[in-house]
Amino acid sequence: MYTTQMDAAKRGILTDQLRIVAREEQLEPELLRALVASGRVVIPANRHHTSLHPMGVGEKLRTKINVNLGVSKDCYDIELELQKARKAIELKAEAIMDLSCYGKTREFRRRLIETSPVMIGTVPMYDAVGMLDKDLKDISVDEFFSVVERHAEDGVDFMTIHCGMNLKTAARVKQNKRLTNIVSRGGSLLFAWMELNNRENPFYEYYDRLLDICEQYDVTLSLGDACRPGSIQDATDAAQIEELITLGELTKRAWARNVQVMIEGPGHMAINEIAANMLLEKRLCHGAPFYVLGPLVTDIAPGYDHITSAIGGAIAAANGADFLCYVTPAEHLRLPNLDDMKEGIIASRIAAHAADIAKGIPGARTWDNQMSAARADVDFPRMIELAIDPEKAGRYRAESQPECEDTCTMCGKMCPMKNMKKILNGEDLSIA
């Protein structure tokens, strides 16, 4: 009997989850098993998440995207967040992170896990502050771990925990002034707890206790980047790299316990630094899958940060990132609504797909070739069917009808696709 997907892979066992992932990713099961055994692929699959359709994240696999949602004190509407979750699944997101930090968080989390076929992630630190209803300073180590265990019992597939924010990393933050300090919510809360109590980060100090929980439920540990840059000015600084080195050390300790690991990364970052950061993570963290927020390639576009994120995400994934956390137009401004969420998901899916073409993922180009063939045939119904967002493509087409049905209102009778098809078929051409 195996304990985790990694344990099974090391023992040479092809789990049901692994077979599903191998089939859908067009990989030989034995190759995928070797990747899981080495830690270069994770299959987040908590044994209590019975509605899960398993997916893999990592080397040689399609780039996956995650959608953040959840209730907060200012926006407490469980039904709306569940509606968002259903929409995210409909729009083909591969993961949902529940970032709830107020109220009946467990009720929402359980309902989400009960019905969700996609993998579910959480940040227990948020819930500790919201659920325990205590001042941050007064939360005990045991209480922190009780929240982690509760999330694992409920069926959470992966958890973001900022284990690398230790006293050494905190010192780097204080010694090297940043423009935007610490922008990670969970990281800033842990930093504050450490400063207020003059103590080490409990998730670093008692890391083996955390691994016990992850191993018991097969929770994938998403090692959070407390020092991710919140501005392009702070990217690739001493604090970020100090933490990344620590995360690499913690990765090896987790693997020794057969706990699956992802590494989280930036953040905000200039375009010319992205490729180097992807290489650094893969080298320092021994090939573990990389999960990035963006990166956002400029800081000046509130209201359009789904675009700045998609630019950075495509470059990051083409250079080795495995998992993109979506960013919506509402980033830095407010909790996203349904429309914001859709814009963010589509932008992230475009970035992920563009990267998969660059990475040579099996079948990635096929979709594009099918679309190009439909355009060459001037087959608008087929183009709309193949679109990443058929609803929007169909609406745009319907809003502006051309004189000739097999053209559009941009080119009309001068449509190069239509005219080239006619000429090459030896037909007469009239564009008058």
* Residue 214 sits in the same domain as residue 93: yes
- Residue 243 assigned ligand-binding role: no
The per-residue pLDDT for 133 is 80
- The whole-angstrom separation of Cα 322 and Cα 16 is 22
- Residue 126 assigned ligand-binding role: yes
The per-residue pLDDT for 405 is 79
* Residue 297 sits in the same domain as residue 337: yes
- Residue 162 assigned ligand-binding role: yes
Asked whether 326 and 351 are in contact (CB, 8 A), the reply is no
- Residue 411 assigned ligand-binding role: yes
- Residue 58 assigned ligand-binding role: no
- Residue 349 assigned ligand-binding role: no
pLDDT at 401 over 90: no
The per-residue pLDDT for 193 is 97
The per-residue pLDDT for 159 is 98
38 found inside a domain: no
Asked whether 419 and 429 are in contact (CB, 8 A), the reply is yes
pLDDT at 432 over 80: no
* Residue 296 sits in the same domain as residue 352: yes
* Residue 252 sits in the same domain as residue 391: no
28 found inside a domain: no
pLDDT tens digits for range 218-252: 999 999 999 999 999 999 999 999 999 999 999 99
- The whole-angstrom separation of Cα 114 and Cα 119 is 11
pLDDT tens digits for range 143-173: 999 999 999 999 999 999 999 999 999 999 9
Among residues 307, 341, 359, the one where a domain terminates is 359
* Residue 64 sits in the same domain as residue 169: yes
203 found inside a domain: yes
Q: 195: Cβ–Cβ under 8 A, 6 or more apart, which residues?
A: 170
* Residue 332 sits in the same domain as residue 371: no
What element of type H or E holds 264?
Answer: strand 261-265
- Residue 228 assigned ligand-binding role: yes
* Residue 134 sits in the same domain as residue 153: yes
Q: At what angle do helices 271-284 and 238-256 cross, to 10 degrees?
A: 30
Please, which pLDDT band fits residue 422 given cuts at 50, 70 and 90? Answer: confident
- Residue 186 assigned ligand-binding role: yes
- The whole-angstrom separation of Cα 77 and Cα 80 is 5
CATH number of the domain to which 242 belongs: 3.20.20.540
Q: Nearest-5° angle of CA 260, CA 263, CA 264?
A: 140
Q: How many domains does the chain have?
A: 2
pLDDT over 70 percentage in the chain:
100
32 found inside a domain: no
Q: What is the identity of the amino acid at 1?
A: M
183 found inside a domain: yes
430 found inside a domain: no
The per-residue pLDDT for 74 is 85
168 found inside a domain: yes
Domain encompassing residue 400: 365-424
Which among 127, 65, 132, 82 has a CA at the least distance from the CA of 100?
Answer: 127
> Is residue 295 reached through a cis peptide bond, with omega within 30 degrees of 0 on the bond before it?
yes
Question: What residues are paired with 119 via a beta bridge?
Answer: 95
* Residue 342 sits in the same domain as residue 383: no
- Residue 238 assigned ligand-binding role: no
Predicted TM-score of the model (pTM): 0.95
147 found inside a domain: yes
* Residue 245 sits in the same domain as residue 343: yes
* Residue 351 sits in the same domain as residue 284: yes
- Residue 51 assigned ligand-binding role: no
Mean pLDDT confidence for 388-396: 96
- Residue 184 assigned ligand-binding role: yes
pLDDT at 296 over 80: yes
- Residue 56 assigned ligand-binding role: no
* Residue 96 sits in the same domain as residue 127: yes
pLDDT at 331 over 90: yes
Among residues 304, 328, 359, the one where a domain terminates is 359
- Residue 48 assigned ligand-binding role: no
Mean pLDDT confidence for 274-296: 97
Least confident of 20-24, 131-135, 205-209, 372-376: 131-135
- Residue 106 assigned ligand-binding role: no
Tokens describing residue 381: 């119904």
Q: 372: Cβ–Cβ under 8 A, 6 or more apart, which residues?
A: none
Least confident of 92-101, 127-136, 344-353: 127-136
- Residue 269 assigned ligand-binding role: no
pLDDT at 131 over 80: no
Q: 432: Cβ–Cβ under 8 A, 6 or more apart, which residues?
A: 413
- The whole-angstrom separation of Cα 60 and Cα 329 is 30
- Residue 227 assigned ligand-binding role: yes
The per-residue pLDDT for 98 is 96
* Residue 133 sits in the same domain as residue 220: yes
Asked whether 96 and 55 are in contact (CB, 8 A), the reply is no
The per-residue pLDDT for 160 is 98
